[in-house]
Structure 1
């Protein structure tokens, strides 16, 4: 049973390719410039904005995992996400392929961020969140109206070994490793959940190979520890026996820096996730599969030891 990863070169795609070996010997990796993770991987070069290329990439497979990450730019998200999801849904319907979509929490209501579950209301306060909601709505419509077999695997902000886009990596762990001052966004006194990328990849592979997991939303396994930004910084510093030295990037500073950097500019509208508690509840998955997520202590040690 061949399975395909669309967007195979990112932080999640590479780990997912390793995890899928437990379920199938036939794995197809799809990206613009795919590289093998496992010796037997099949490589397909494709642009997900091309319906024809997506159709070719999905054909002959049983499960498709859409884990692509677009550049953090609203203009690109608005232009590309609707096209990509339409192409993938149409190809999956045509070839009777199950779809697993790797999602984030941007579509949740602002007030729900304090304790997010799969039942939290969908009412995004940000423009990027509205794009993500459109993607989710397209998937749900295809499930209810067209017979698509699909599931949504949702992650909190993530971190992990080699996670180039992991927020905790970028803000805390990478500077720590380099002996530099750590950073935090908005308010170090607020709780913030982070999903460990190896946990996420393991869970996505498990969900994709569990028939009764489809046509549902799942929060990927995430530590239930309620750490504040200050606790992450202090625990990280203690691992290296260094001083918990950090800099807080508040909304004003982000707005100022955003005048010169597009990525930083894009972070300003997302600060509602950092100036209040942000707790991601994955109890549904953990109970269903008897899964215990990696603790923050263990996960950070693994990243810092690289």
Structure 2
């Protein structure tokens, strides 16, 4: 059975692709409440579990061939949540024969000052969140334990696509675009920036999970060509027929705002991503699995299509 920890945008995208590939696939969804706001087919189960609990994770691992870890919590909770999750998963893997595909981001590399990121880069981030992510990699992949040969990390850039609520081009951006409100950017929006389409991320997770030779290593999701933020905004303007009201804030303004808002303060330490080009190499993945990345126009079209389908009664 394939188990998906987390029922956010990535977890649901993985489920949908698995079912598209095989409508009879046995799937178990896991979240904190044991509920999901979707009608599930009979071969997809849902259960409540605590991913930071060793016993819960061992129970799940004993009935799983592959575990896709796609959990997420607010930045302010990372310091407790992710180290505990890594320890619980390591314990469960050590007690079973399950394989783990861990959805990750690029924070562990830290500020590479515009260099193209590859899987061979060291995990030497100086930010708090980058160090937390590096610690998860060390616990699960670089521990030297036998189970590390059954672990793979799949790293994505910033999310874009359907069901993205918190991303730069998530529902908040689209709400403001459709209602002619100011859209705030920071950093240098004329620099190229890599985004990962959520369905490309999900497909990469599945491909890595299905390949016996993919474990014990890190993979980068195949992404659309990097474009600058203003180019992405123009695509959204073309697709929606709306004109964006962009406001670019200097970084020191974001720092000041962070003095009064803990979430903004968490975002501030990642500001380097928009002060330099943010470029990701995915040649390793393409060499092994091929290139299934979607082009920017399709990404924007599918994002807007999903958004408008959920907002019909609210559209101006």
TM-score (norm. length: structure 2): 0.89
* Deviation sequence 1:99-145 (CA, Å, 0-9, x none): 11100000114226531111123210211101110101111234x33
Residues 134 and 274 of structure 1: is their aligned pair in 2 closer, same or farther, counting only changes over 3 Å?
same
- Single out whichever of 284-293 and 41-50 deviates more from structure 2: 284-293
Match of 1:110, SS state, is: coil
Provide the rounded CA distance (Å) in 2 between the counterparts of 1:170 and 1:252.
26
| Pairing partner for 2:13 from 8, 11, 15 | 15
* Equivalent residue, structure 2, for 1:220: 221
Residues 20 and 92 of structure 1: is their aligned pair in 2 closer, same or farther, counting only changes over 3 Å?
farther
Please say if residues 93 and 147 of structure 2, whose CA atoms lie closer than 8 Å, have aligned partners that are also in contact: no
The answer for unaligned runs of 5 or more in structure 2 is 307-316
Residues 292 and 25 of structure 1: is their aligned pair in 2 closer, same or farther, counting only changes over 3 Å?
closer
Aligned length: 300
Does residue 93 of the first structure (1) align with residue 94 of the second (2)? yes
Please say if residues 180 and 245 of structure 2, whose CA atoms lie closer than 8 Å, have aligned partners that are also in contact: no
Provide the rounded CA distance (Å) in 1 between the counterparts of 2:267 and 2:183.
18
* Equivalent residue, structure 2, for 1:54: 57
* Deviation sequence 1:203-253 (CA, Å, 0-9, x none): 111111111111111001111x23112211222223233334201133222
Q: Where do 1:185-224 residues align within 5 Å? A: 185-223=186-224
The answer for unaligned runs of 5 or more in structure 1 is none
Match of 2:126, SS state, is: coil
* Equivalent residue, structure 2, for 1:177: 178
Please say if residues 171 and 184 of structure 1, whose CA atoms lie closer than 8 Å, have aligned partners that are also in contact: no
Provide the rounded CA distance (Å) in 1 between the counterparts of 2:74 and 2:189.
27
1:55: Cα distance to partner?
Answer: 1.7
Please say if residues 177 and 304 of structure 1, whose CA atoms lie closer than 8 Å, have aligned partners that are also in contact: no
Does residue 276 of the first structure (1) align with residue 276 of the second (2)? yes
Provide the rounded CA distance (Å) in 2 between the counterparts of 1:140 and 1:158.
24
Please say if residues 176 and 182 of structure 1, whose CA atoms lie closer than 8 Å, have aligned partners that are also in contact: yes
Please say if residues 160 and 166 of structure 1, whose CA atoms lie closer than 8 Å, have aligned partners that are also in contact: no
Residues 186 and 173 of structure 1: is their aligned pair in 2 closer, same or farther, counting only changes over 3 Å?
same
Provide the rounded CA distance (Å) in 2 between the counterparts of 1:176 and 1:104.
27
Does residue 161 of the first structure (1) align with residue 146 of the second (2)? no
Does residue 106 of the first structure (1) align with residue 107 of the second (2)? yes
1:37: Cα distance to partner?
Answer: 6.0
Match of 2:17, SS state, is: helix
Provide the rounded CA distance (Å) in 1 between the counterparts of 2:152 and 2:113.
21
Match of 2:46, SS state, is: strand
Provide the rounded CA distance (Å) in 2 between the counterparts of 1:284 and 1:161.
26
Please say if residues 157 and 196 of structure 2, whose CA atoms lie closer than 8 Å, have aligned partners that are also in contact: yes
Provide the rounded CA distance (Å) in 2 between the counterparts of 1:135 and 1:178.
40
1:260: Cα distance to partner?
Answer: 3.1
Does residue 293 of the first structure (1) align with residue 296 of the second (2)? no
Provide the rounded CA distance (Å) in 1 between the counterparts of 2:61 and 2:181.
44
